[in-house]
Amino acid sequence: MPDNRPIYLDCNATTPIDPRVREVMLHYLDVEYGNAGSRTHVYGQAAAKGVKRARNQIAAVVDAAPEEIVFTSGATEANNLAILGLTDYGRRTGKRHIISTEIEHKAVLEPLKLLEQQGFEIELVPPTLGGCVDPSDIGGRLRDDTLLVSVMHVNNETGVIQPLNAICRELAQTEAFFHVDAAQGFGKELTQLTDARVDMISVSSHKVHGPCGIGSLIVRRQRNVQRALSPRQVGGNQERGLRSGTLPTFLICGFGHAAELAVQEYSSRRNRWQELGEQFRQALAGLPVRIHGVTEERLPNTCSFSLARIDSEAVLLALREVVALATGSACTSSRMEPSHVLRAMYPKDTTADTACRASWCHLTGDLPVEHIRTALRTLL
């Protein structure tokens, strides 16, 4: 990597791959390159063994069973399978009411919009000023015909952790399925996803130092949600008929190893996030900055902020040679749209036009505190 490149602070978009994960992937590219579906020879058997190990590694993060892992191309596909996969079941049972939140990723909001066009009723719960949703607000909207509740684990823009355990309690006596988009929180917050009332969990490898292009929908069996799901992709009956296609063994094994490392190194990684968070706060000290999202319920690897009333593009331009930041979700930043998350948090002001997001990981080097502060002062 060239020495003159800015420090990468966009880890919520994608993380650098762990070198140990790369080694595992290379093994399954160069040595054990068989098709995991070919069980008649040692090459296929070795690949199948690697896939089985990965299922166990991923399942262990959320206290699931390995057979509850359905591999996908990433969290976006997993979200689509979880939401659109319930369409036929909803029509058959007359359950066409879905509850979600205004701060979800577009990979949830857009499938919901599609279902709304097909006659389903969608209710989006607004967040509090601190960026959390109120569990009682969700509970108060539940009905007998509620098919699904979908709430993210950690917001990708603010890093705010949503109160999943409390939402599970609201759902305890209901039949509604509960889906969680855990792309940002999987392997980074280890307690809430183990709640057995969470029926489906969408996760993505490249958010946790694994390869891009692989993820999973974790489908718990105890409430028969798998029987309610219809596949979005057919053609080979892989993944218990929920997602056909040849399994990319090298990606799956890389994902599995990344998931295992995330648990093993959770404490040390979190300590490093906190160190870097303190450095970033020092860089912002004394400047007219607004931090978005409640501090005590936010992952310490994320900071969404606005500098005075200065447009976010001006901030990114001033810092472009020092650090690489984002203006929000990487999936929508190409369209230069103001953050829908911050618009939901602050419906009465224009903060969404000024917000920038910094996100780091345990592999991030120390931050150039003075250079960041100096660059930002030029805008004031």
Q: 214 is written with which tokens?
A: 């692989």
Q: 268 is written with which tokens?
A: 């040390």
Report yes or no: 325 and 357 within 8 Å, Cβ to Cβ. yes
Cβ atoms within 10 Å of 318's Cβ, excluding its own: 18
Report yes or no: 179 and 83 within 8 Å, Cβ to Cβ. yes
331 is catalytic: yes
Which pLDDT score, from 0 to 100, does residue 269 have?
98
Long-range residue pairs from 37-43, CB within 8 A, at least 24 positions apart, any chain: 37/236, 37/238, 37/246, 37/247
Report yes or no: 157 and 304 within 8 Å, Cβ to Cβ. yes
Q: 329 is written with which tokens?
A: 């979700």
Q: Name the strand (E) or helix (H) holding 373.
A: helix 369-377
Mean pLDDT by 10 residues, the chain (380 residues): 82 98 98 94 96 98 98 98 98 98 98 98 96 97 98 98 98 97 98 97 98 98 91 87 94 98 98 98 96 92 95 95 84 65 88 90 97 96
CA atoms of 30 and 380, how far apart (whole Å): 54
| Chain center to CA of 375 | 31
| Chain center to CA of 303 | 16
CA atoms of 354 and 336, how far apart (whole Å): 12
Which domains, from first to last, does the chain contain?
7-17+266-377 (3.90.1150.10), 19-263 (3.40.640.10)
First to last CA, the chain: 33
Q: What value does the CA radius of gyration of the chain take, rounded to a whole number of Å?
A: 21
CA atoms of 301 and 272, how far apart (whole Å): 9
Catalytic residue among 11, 212, 253, 331: 331
Which pLDDT score, from 0 to 100, does residue 1 have?
43
